[in-house]
C-alpha cells in the first residue's frame, strides 16, 4: 500500500510539472550551447536515396510493403524519392552551406549486402564511402543508423527476419562489415531506429512492414501472432544490438574510438484524469513503451510490470543474455513528436501488446491534424523522467520536426516556430544538467514519409517531384536554422512574425 501511495504521489508531481512548466527560451544563439553540442539534420536510406533497382541493390521489406499498396494507407514508394543516390554531392553542399555540424543517415542493408549476408555489393560499398567522404571533406560528422526499418527481404523470406534468433548472427556480421569499412570515419553508430515502433506497428498492429499480426485482429495480416511476436522481435533486437556493441568494443573501439547507441520513439505522457487508475496506467505505459528497452539496457531485465502482465509470452533473459545487453548502449537516440493523455482500459477479450498495456493513448483536445503540436516542456519531462529512472546517460535528439502539407508555402512559419521552441528547450535541458549531446531536425529533405508517403513533409528543403531534376528549394526554416547555426543575429522581423503566427499551444499537457 505504501508503494502504491508513493507511486501516485510521484505521478501527480510529474503531471503538475508538465502543466506548469514554462515555455522554453526565445532568444537563441548557438554560442550559448557547449562547443561539443552537435546540431544536424536527419534522413534515412529508403526515404531519400531512390535508385532502388540500381547497381545491385535488392528489395527490403519496405520495398515489398510500398509495392503492395502501403497497407492501403497512402500512395507512392521509394523507388526514386529524392534520388540522393545520384545527388549526394549537391545535398552535402547544401548541408555545408547551411552550416550543419552533422548529418544522420542510414545504410541500406539491401544495398550493401543485397542478400542480407554473404557477398558485399561493390557499388553499394562505393556509394557509402563516397557519401561519407563527401561529408567529412565538408567538415560534417556522419551519424549512421544500421537498421531504419528496411530489413533485406531475402532474410524475411528465408526465416522470418526479426522473429528468428538467426537474425542476431546476420545483423552482427552486417554491422561488422560497416564497422570495418566505414568506422575509420564514422564515430557515431545507431544499431536500430525506433525499435519500439518497429515491433508494435510491424508485429502487433500489422500496419507497417513486414505486416505481421494475428488474423482479423487489426489489419487482417496473412501471418503473425500479435500476442507473442512483438515481444520476440524486441528480444532479438536487444540481443542483436548487444552482440554488435560487444563486437565493436572488442574489435574496433580501440582503433576507431567510436560509440554504439540505440534509438526509440518517445512520447509525452500524462494521465487523462487524476484518478488512481489513470495515474497507474500512465506509469504502466511508460514501462511498456520506454522501459521495454531501457530497463534491459540499464538493469539487464524487463520491467516488473511487463513480467507480471505478459508472463510466459515475454521472453526471459538468460544470465549470459542479460550481461550482453546490460550497459551495451553508449548513448540513446530519441525521436520525439507527440504527447498523449493516458486513460486506463483493461481489455479481456484478446491478448496482444496493446491489450497488455491496458491503456488508451488519446490526443489532447485541440491537437491539429496537419501540424505536430509544439510541446517542448513535454519532451523535457521525458528527458527528466529518464534521468530520474535510468540515470543521466548521453542522449541525442535524433528526430524532431514539424509536419506540413507537402506542397504548402516555402514560408513554413509553423516549422520555424517549432524549431525555435524545441532548440530553446534543448538549451534549457543542457543548463539543467541533462546529458543531451546533440539535436537533429527531421528532416533535411522532403522525403518519402513512412506514415504518409508524399502527402505530408518535414523537410527543410522542398524537393520538386514534378521537376525531372528533383530540384531542391530552401524553405524559410532552412534559412532560420542556418542563421542559428552560423550565429548570425536573428532577423527581428522573423521573430515578430513567429509570434504573430504562433498557433495556440496545448494546455492539456
Inter-residue contact 244 to 145 (CB < 8 Å): no
Query: What is the rounded CA–CA span in Å between residue 212 and residue 275?
Result: 35
Beta-ladder partners of 39:
439
Inter-residue contact 182 to 146 (CB < 8 Å): no
Inter-residue contact 50 to 86 (CB < 8 Å): yes
Annotated catalytic residue, options 49, 134, 321, 399: 399
CA atoms within 13 A on the CB side of 365: 3
Who's near 61: CB < 8 A, 6+ residues apart? 149, 150, 151, 152, 153, 156, 161, 209, 210
399 is catalytic: yes
H-run or E-run covering 106: strand 102-106
194 is catalytic: yes
Cell numbers found for residue 200: 508494435
Who's near 256: CB < 8 A, 6+ residues apart? 179, 183, 184, 187
By CB atoms closer than 10 A (0-12, 13-18, 19+), residue 468 is: exposed
Annotated catalytic residue, options 194, 321, 421, 449: 194
CA 120 from chain center: how many Å? 27
DSSP character for 145? E
Query: What is the rounded CA–CA span in Å between residue 170 and residue 149?
Result: 15
Beta-ladder partners of 442:
42
Inter-residue contact 454 to 465 (CB < 8 Å): yes
Catalytic residues: 194, 399
Amino acid at each position: 500500500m505504501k508503494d502504491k501511495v508513493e507511486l501516485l504521489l510521484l505521478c501527480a508531481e510529474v503531471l503538475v510539472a508538465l502543466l506548469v512548466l514554462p515555455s522554453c527560451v526565445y532568444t537563441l544563439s548557438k554560442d550559448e550551447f557547449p562547443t561539443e553540442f552537435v546540431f544536424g539534420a536527419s534522413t534515412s536510406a529508403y526515404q531519400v536515396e531512390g535508385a532502388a533497382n540500381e547497381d545491385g541493390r535488392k528489395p527490403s521489406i519496405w520495398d515489398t510493403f510500398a509495392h503492395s499498396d502501403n497497407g492501403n494507407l497512402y500512395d507512392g514508394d521509394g523507388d526514386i524519392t529524392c534520388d540522393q543516390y545520384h545527388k549526394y554531392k549537391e545535398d552535402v553542399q547544401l548541408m555545408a552551406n547551411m552550416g550543419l555540424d552533422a548529418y544522420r543517415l542510414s545504410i541500406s542493408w539491401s544495398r550493401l549486402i543485397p542478400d542480407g549476408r554473404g557477398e558485399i555489393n561493390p557499388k553499394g560499398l562505393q556509394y557509402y564511402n563516397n557519401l561519407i567522404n563527401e561529408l567529412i571533406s565538408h567538415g560534417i560528422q556522419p551519424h549512421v543508423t544500421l537498421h531504419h526499418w528496411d530489413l533485406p527481404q531475402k532474410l524475411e523470406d528465408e526465416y522470418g527476419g526479426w522473429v528468428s534468433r538467426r537474425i542476431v548472427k546476420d545483423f552482427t556480421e552486417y554491422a561488422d562489415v560497416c564497422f570495418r569499412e566505414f568506422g575509420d570515419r564514422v564515430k557515431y553508430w545507431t544499431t536500430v531506429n525506433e525499435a519500439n515502433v518497429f515491433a508494435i506497428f510491424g508485429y502487433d498492429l500489422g500496419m507497417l512492414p513486414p505486416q505481421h499480426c494475428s488474423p482479423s485482429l487489426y489489419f487482417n495480416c496473412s501471418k503473425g501472432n500479435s500476442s507473442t511476436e512483438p515481444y520476440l522481435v524486441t528480444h532479438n533486437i536487444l540481443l542483436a544490438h548487444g552482440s554488435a556493441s560487444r563486437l565493436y568494443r572488442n574489435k574496433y573501439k580501440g582503433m576507431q574510438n567510436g560509440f554504439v547507441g540505440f534509438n526509440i520513439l518517445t512520447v509525452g505522457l500524462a494521465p487523462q484524469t487524476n484518478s488512481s487508475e489513470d495515474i497507474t496506467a500512465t506509469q504502466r505505459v511508460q514501462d511498456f513503451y520506454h522501459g521495454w528497452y531501457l530497463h534491459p539496457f540499464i538493469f539487464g531485465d524487463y520491467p516488473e510490470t511487463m513480467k507480471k502482465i505478459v508472463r510466459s509470452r515475454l521472453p526471459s533473459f538468460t544470465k549470459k543474455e542479460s550481461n550482453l545487453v546490460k550497459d551495451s548502449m553508449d548513448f540513446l537516440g530519441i525521436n520525439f513528436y507527440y504527447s498523449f493523455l493516458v486513460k486506463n482500459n483493461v481489455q479481456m477479450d484478446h491478448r496482444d501488446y496493446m491489450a497488455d498495456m491496458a491503456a488508451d493513448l488519446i490526443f489532447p483536445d485541440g491537437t491539429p491534424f496537419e501540424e505536430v503540436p509544439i510541446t517542448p516542456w513535454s519532451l523535457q519531462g521525458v528527458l527528466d523522467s529518464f534521468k530520474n529512472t535510468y540515470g543521466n546517460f548521453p542522449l541525442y535528439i535524433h528526430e524532431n520536426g514539424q509536419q506540413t502539407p507537402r506542397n504548402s508555402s516555402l514560408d513554413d512559419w509553423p516549422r520555424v516556430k517549432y524549431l525555435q521552441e524545441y532548440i530553446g528547450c534543448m538549451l534549457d535541458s543542457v543548463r539543467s544538467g541533462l546529458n543531451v549531446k546533440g539535436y537533429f531536425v527531421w528532416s533535411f529533405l522532403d522525403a518519402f514519409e513512412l506514415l504518409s508517403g508524399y502527402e505530408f513533409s518535414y523537410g527543410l528543403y522542398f524537393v520538386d517531384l514534378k521537376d525531372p531534376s528533383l530540384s531542391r528549394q530552401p524553405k524559410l526554416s532552412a534559412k532560420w536554422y542556418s542563421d542559428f547555426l552560423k550565429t548570425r543575429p536573428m532577423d527581428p522581423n522573423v521573430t515578430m512574425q513567429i509570434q504573430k503566427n504562433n498557433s495556440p499551444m496545448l494546455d492539456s499537457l
